[in-house]
Amino acid sequence: MSTDRTTTPVVEVRGLVNRFGSQTVHDNLDLDILPREVLGVVGGSGTGKSVLLRSIVGLRRPNAGSVKVFGKDLQTLSPQARSEQERRFGVLFQSGALFSSLTVVENIALPLIEHAGLPREDAEHLARMKIALTGLPPGAGDKYPSMLSGGMVKRAALARALALDPDILFLDEPTAGLDPIGAAAFDQLIRTLCDALGLSVFLVTHDLDTLYAICDRVAVLSQKRVLIADTLERVADTRDAWIQDYFHGPRGRAAAYQQPTPAKE
């Protein structure tokens, strides 16, 4: 895993509050995302993991608090400046969210046409490069999403998230629905891309194997805020009932056991 990250966060969340009617999901939540790290975000059902993701990328306006990305608060920017900042994000939604009426190439080319203003031919050429980058076979580009397996849909959606060469990837349960072999391959693809392209990754997941395999830090959402954000080892040692059940239950022990012992430097 990468170790040459600076300490200046690329994303700073401070005092975040999110409410839905009388229900408060987040209350005074703080979190940083560091350059070139894979940050795993976990928590029980209803702790607002996906809501936090949506607040950071600007899909939801929080009730209070601030979200700064590369030192700028999206909510205070002009529409043009905000659009330029948002081009630095790549988002992979849980279901893939590909347009069913477009081929894979057309799905990936769309943001290049709409946001980068590229001619269709150039956009589709770049789209095929992104397809290759995510390990899809060349022929997948001419297929519609309904013709692809679940793992291929995930990779196609990842290729679209990478279309505009983002600095930060936001992934919402990227391995959900994949078999163990497919999930492990997708995990390694994310780690490889993070290291090769210098990406920061915000990863919402329930997958313990993913946490152990590729995450530099883990943030635990509990009690309406971030209970702890640290290395997996330190998080797993935290004296909290949910954390202990999650990391030291049968699945947690199995995931930890499967990981290779790091070589001593």
Q: Could you list the pLDDT tens digit for every one of the 265 residues in the chain?
A: 544 455 789 999 999 999 999 999 999 999 999 999 999 999 998 899 999 999 999 889 999 999 999 999 988 888 888 888 888 999 998 777 899 999 999 999 999 998 888 999 999 999 999 999 998 998 999 999 999 988 899 999 999 999 999 999 999 999 888 888 989 999 999 999 999 999 999 999 989 999 999 999 999 999 999 999 999 999 999 999 999 999 887 655 555 555 654 444 4
Coil, helix or strand at residue 98: coil
Q: What are residue 36's phi and psi, to 5 degrees?
A: 60, 25
Give me the pLDDT at residue 253, please: 52
H-helix or E-strand spanning residue 158 = helix 150-161
Give me the pLDDT at residue 171, please: 95
Cα distances (angstroms) measured from residue 93 to each of 23, 50, 120, 189: 24, 9, 25, 17
Coil, helix or strand at residue 128: helix
Q: What whole-number distance in Å separates Cα of residue 120 and Cα of residue 81?
A: 25
Coil, helix or strand at residue 251: helix
CA end-to-end distance (rounded Å), the chain: 14
CA dihedral 231, 236, 238, 243 (to 10 degrees): 120
SS3 content of the chain, % helix, strand, coil (to 5): 40, 25, 35
Model pTM score: 0.87
Q: What whole-number distance in Å separates Cα of residue 149 and Cα of residue 95?
A: 12
Whether the CB-CB separation of 171 and 202 falls below 8 Å is answered with yes
